[in-house]
Every structure is written in C-alpha cells, then in structure tokens.
Structure 1
Amino acid sequence: MKAFVLRSYGPPDVLELRDVADPVPGPGEVLVRVRATSVNPYDWHLMRGEPRIARLMPGGLGLRRPAVDILGCDMAGDVEELGPGVTDFAVGDNVYGLLVGGGFGERVAVPVDRLAPLPEGLSHEEAAAIPMAGVTALDGLRNAGRLQSGQTVLINGATGGVGIFAVQLAKAMGAHVVAVCGTHNVDLVRSLGADEIIDYRRDEYPGRVRRYDVVLDNAGARPVSAHLRAMTPDGIFVAVGGPPGRWLSPADRVVKAQLRTRFATQRAALADAVNYPDKRAALLDLNGYVEAGRLRPVIHRCYTFDDLPAAVTYQETGRVPAKVVVTVP
C-alpha cells in the first residue's frame, strides 16, 4: 500500500509517499481501507516534534525521532478484514475512528474500541472531519467544562476545527452560546447556531460583564486572566489550544490557568481527546447528534491524497476555518 511516512521531525516536506507493507489486524482489531482523512494540529505537532517538552514525556512524541511513523489520527473507510475475536463489525462496514496514527495511508489496522459506524447520511470525507475535533469539543464542554442547560458559554476560536463542533454541541446541550471569531467568519458562526457573536476585530473582547459559566478557549490569543475576569465566580476555563511554540506552548497554557485558579472558586481544565478513556462511546454520542440533525461537519477545503503535504502546510498556517480533509483513492 501507499502511505506518507515520517522518518524525522521537520516541515511537511519530510512526509514521504512510499510503498509499505499492508498492516495485519491483531486480536480486537480490523483492517480498514481508508477513504478519507483530515489534518489536525495534533498531526503537525507530531510531525515537527513540538513543543519539545513533549519529547521528554512518557508516551510522548519520541525523543530523537517520531514515535509515530504514519500520521493521521482521523480516518473514515470500510472494513476489509477482521482480526481474531472481532464480532462488532463485518467486512464491508463503513466506519470512522480516532486513531493514534495511520490515517495518512491507504490501509490501517484499528482497535475496535476506537471505531464507530459511519454516521448515517455522511460521506467518508464528512465523517473523517469529525473524530479529533468532535471528541475534543465534546470532552471540553461535557466533561472538562461540565456545561449545563441554561448556562452561558464563551467559545473562543469558534470557526477552528474544534470550534465549529463546540458551537453546535453547546447549543444542542441547551446553553446560551457566545462565539468569538473574525469579521469574515461571522456568517459561518451564525449558521452554526451561536446566540451572540463577538467579532474580535471590532468588538470589545471578552467583555466587561462577568457572565460566562464556561469559557472554551481554542485560540489562546488572549491572556488567561482576561477570560477569568469575564467568568462567573464558579466558572470553568477549558483550554484546548493556543499559538504553537518551539519549547512549551501551547502545553503551558493550561498549567498557567490551573495555577491562577488554584486558590479560587473558579476552575481550569484541559480538553483532551488523545487520552479520552472511551473513544468509541464518544464517537457514538457524536453520531447521535449528527443523526438528530444537531451537528454537521464543515469542510473548508478538500485535497487529493498526493497533495496531502500541501494540506498539512495549509492547516499549519493556523488561519483555516472549519476542517481540511484529504480524499484517499
């Protein structure tokens, strides 16, 4: 099969299209023919080996060379082969999943606890846009943020990969949604169901009135202290991402937030899809929202498989609304 292989840390041109052996599904795994994948900041953090502090962490990026040689944590495709003991899926089933890596190849062996049936009515490309960003948004709002119906949530970076799902999920959970975006994305955010929109280029941000029960920060462009001042006394600040840095950022952002709230009634938490304990359950929950008409993926640009490095380059600019998807032939 063909796959983009990562042999060393670096920019997107270190991704080499090579012929590699087809993976063999082990016990509890299935072999999936990949039909579409998407690009996430998680992928290019692994590609560049940054922030470098993560290379020192157990189970992290890998000290001297990448720990994952085929990137791609989002994947949608069809089951080609069952590993020993698998009864959850059948050959030919359309599935999608949240992986450690492997989505940047034509085939991947995936543990069944990372897979779910393709949401009804979605294409492979649409489904591939969901896993990492959708699970992050779900975890950030429901678990880290403990969002309740009737509460007010501020979603900063509302048109990024996580933001587009967070706006819709927060609305589906019964929250009053205040979304922060740039002027050119106001119409998109409004179409997702936001109750109020703050144009950070024109409006005061995040506002003088302390009224947010939950702040979900996908952008990290403003000091944590500014968000905390705008929250209720028992509000929860949820860190998702921030401007990338060579050594610490954005990993240090949640640490700073936790230190600031250590002796306060406010709380800081991290949305973490990578370590989410039950990825299949989260994907099934997202399926429910999709099939109820409460959640839809938004694809900004779709690339061919041969142009996958260009898709990574574009995603890495940090100015991409919605999702960047790659079709795998």
Structure 2
Amino acid sequence: MSSPTPAKMRGIIQPNANSKDLSFTTLTTPTINPSLGEHLIHVKTCAPCAGELLWPKNFPPPNPHVAGVIISGPKDSPFQPGDEVYARTNYVRPGNAREFTIGVTDELAHKPKTLSWVAAAAVPVSAETAWQILFIHAGIAGDAEADWSAAQDAWKGKRVLVTAASGGVGMWVVQLATLLGAEVVGTCGTANIALVQSLGAKEVLDYRSTNIREWAEDPTKKVDVVIDCIGRQSLEDAWWTVRDGGVVLSIFQPPKQVCPAEYTGTGVKDVFFVMEPVRRHLESITKLVELGTCRGVVDSVWPLEQYEEAFKRLDGGHARGKIVFDLSLNQ
C-alpha cells in the first residue's frame, strides 16, 4: 500500500520575478485538477536550463525538465499511478525543483526503460528542442511538421553547422541531424572535441582556435543550415558560414539581431523559436533512446540543497551536458 502524499514538500523558489537568486524552502504540495489533464508527479530528478532565472516574469522557474512517478491523474489518462514518466513541463506553471509537481497529459511521455532517473532528467527539453528544429522550424522539409521519412529525404546530404555542439541542445541536434543523413559540423571547446565527434559530427571546430568566418572563406565549407545554441558573438560569426538561400536558426535570440552590418549573403532565412512540450515528439525520442541510437549526457549530479553551487556550474557556460538535481540525495 502506497504512503499518503505529504502536505508539505522541499523545493526551490524564485522569490520574485525580478530576482536572480533562489531560495530553498518548504512548500505546500500542489493539488491537481484532473479535468484539465493534470497529473501529480513524485519528482525523482530534475534539470535546470541555462539562463532560466532571466526568463520573462510569466515563466516561473526553475527547472522545466522532470522525471518521476505518477501519483494521481485523470482516470482515462495513458499515465496511471506508478507509471514512470519524464517531461518538459510548460513554462507558465511553477517549475519542478520540488518533491511533487504537476504535468499534463499532452506534455508527458513514458520514461525510457533503459535510463536511470538521473539520465532521464537530461533528455526532455534538449531533445524536444532539437526535434522541433529539425522536423519543423528549420523548414528544410517544408512549412509543416515532417514525419521521419520526409525529414530524412529533406536533410540527407545537407551541411549543418551546430554551435555549442557539446551543450544540452547541441548534442541532440548533432545526433538527430546525423541520423537524418546530414553532414554535421560542430563547434565546442578543446576538451569536448572527442565527445562531439562520438555523437556523429563529421568535423569539429575548436571555437578557441578557429575563426569560423575565416574557415568559411573556402566556399566548399559553407553550410546549408546554421543551428545556433548560444547566440551573441558565436551567432554573429556563424552568419558568414551559411550559403546563399540557406537558413540561420537560433534558440537563443532572433538571428537578425546580430547579423553583421557588412554581411552580403542573399536569400537567407532567419528563424527564432521557443520550443513547446509535445507528447508525441518525446515519445518518439523515447523510442530512439531505447534503441540506443541517441543518448543524453549528464555533466554532474547535485542534491537539491546545493542549488547555488549547481547554478554556478550551469551559468559558467562550460557544463558538458546537463546538470541534474537528484531529490533522493541529502534527504
């Protein structure tokens, strides 16, 4: 017989919308509205996203990644009490750095059976973002969402530059784009070159020693699509690598914001988007993970109480994969 859900729980909160600091505190355990598709989840692990404390005030952080066990939900839900799930929950609800949280049917997926709780928390946000880049927003397979076959036909042979290829999203873009038949060039630091190569990149550029504008002066190096995961100077420099008629896509900022004034390319489409949780995308990713064709990477694991140190590691910009909170630690 399962234990009753406690009335109080541990959690991390952002005291107010303008605060860059967090507080570890005791919170009231949330209650669900099954008529809205809500499920109560006992959180096992969660993972923060870089820069989330600077998100707009209507996006209450922290931690949209979550992996845990269903406690209760709608009677007709595909996720029943005891099911192991993971998700990127919607930004408009409180985050998941707490012992119990809420997820709705359309954003949940079954946790890959092959993954530990820690490994599972490293997947949803990054993988779903990469999926939506390649199957929807880059527009390579058309204006609507593509299925696997159409995407594979469209991406086969395309040259793709992925910036911050050793980061959470970059790793998944490298893997999925390679599976779809693209020729991937990734940028990262010296220590992560072997990792990015192991994920499928045909060429890896050390951003500390390679000027990609100079690298792209050779027309054979030009790419069809830039997928930027870091913004700012890296995105500005990446404009020089795309061939005329190509695509520059960023998940950090609208690419035109940093397009060089002297840039002379023509017909380049620029794209910026914020991913949305979609159950069918994450279930597709689950299948790939269980087949062993894709994987997430965990940088480090922290107890919830050490959130300050974990966020310092995250915001330092040098994490190799995802930082994960394990709520079973320090209980």
TM-score band w.r.t. shorter chain? 0.7 to 0.9
Which residue of 137, 148, 159 corresponds with 1:144? 137
TM-score, with structure 2 as normaliser: 0.82
8 Å contact from structure 2 (residues 29, 100) kept in 1 = no
| Structure 2: gaps spanning 5 or more residues | 1-8, 141-154
TM-score, with structure 1 as normaliser: 0.82
Please name the residue that 1:57 is paired with. none
Matched, 1:72 2:72: no
Matched, 1:279 2:278: yes
Superposed, 1:15-94 pairs within 5 Å as: 15-27=23-35, 28-41=37-50, 43-46=52-55, 60-62=56-58, 68=60, 71-83=62-74, 85-94=75-84
Please name the residue that 1:53 is paired with. none
8 Å contact from structure 1 (residues 38, 74) kept in 2 = yes
Q: Percent identity?
A: 25
Kindly tell me: are residues 116 and 98 of structure 1, through their superposed partners in 2, closer, same or farther at Cα, counting changes over 3 Å? same
Aligned counterparts of 1:185 and 1:6: Cα–Cα separation in 2:
32
Aligned counterparts of 1:121 and 1:223: Cα–Cα separation in 2:
35
TM superposition shift of 1:227: 2.5
Please name the residue that 1:123 is paired with. 116
Please name the residue that 2:289 is paired with. 290
Kindly tell me: are residues 267 and 260 of structure 1, through their superposed partners in 2, closer, same or farther at Cα, counting changes over 3 Å? farther
Q: What amino acid maps onto 1:23 in structure 2?
A: T
Kindly tell me: are residues 199 and 269 of structure 1, through their superposed partners in 2, closer, same or farther at Cα, counting changes over 3 Å? same
8 Å contact from structure 1 (residues 94, 117) kept in 2 = yes
Superposed, 1:1-329 pairs within 5 Å as: 1-8=9-16, 9-12=18-21, 14-27=22-35, 28-41=37-50, 43-46=52-55, 60-62=56-58, 68=60, 71-83=62-74, 85-99=75-89, 100=91, 101-147=94-140, 148-206=155-213, 207=215, 208-210=217-219, 211-222=222-233, 224=235, 226-241=237-252, 251=253, 253-257=255-259, 264-273=266-275, 276=276, 279-329=278-328
Report the RMSD for the aligned CA atoms in angstroms: 2.5
Count the aligned residue pairs. Answer: 297
Kindly tell me: are residues 224 and 2 of structure 1, through their superposed partners in 2, closer, same or farther at Cα, counting changes over 3 Å? closer
Kindly tell me: are residues 180 and 224 of structure 1, through their superposed partners in 2, closer, same or farther at Cα, counting changes over 3 Å? closer
8 Å contact from structure 2 (residues 248, 255) kept in 1 = no
Superimposed CA distance per residue, residues 86-131 of structure 1 (whole angstroms, 9 cap, x where no aligned partner): 4211110000011124311101121111100001301111111111
- 2:212 is paired with a residue of what secondary structure? coil
8 Å contact from structure 1 (residues 3, 20) kept in 2 = no
- 2:305 is paired with a residue of what secondary structure? helix
Greater Cα offset, 141-150 or 99-108: 141-150
Aligned counterparts of 2:133 and 2:291: Cα–Cα separation in 1:
21
Please name the residue that 2:152 is paired with. none
8 Å contact from structure 1 (residues 141, 216) kept in 2 = no
Please name the residue that 2:143 is paired with. none
TM superposition shift of 1:254: 5.0
Please name the residue that 2:149 is paired with. none
Kindly tell me: are residues 237 and 89 of structure 1, through their superposed partners in 2, closer, same or farther at Cα, counting changes over 3 Å? same
State the structure with bigger RCO (CA 8 A, min sep 6), 1 or 2. Answer: 1
- 1:189 is paired with a residue of what secondary structure? helix
TM superposition shift of 1:71: 2.3
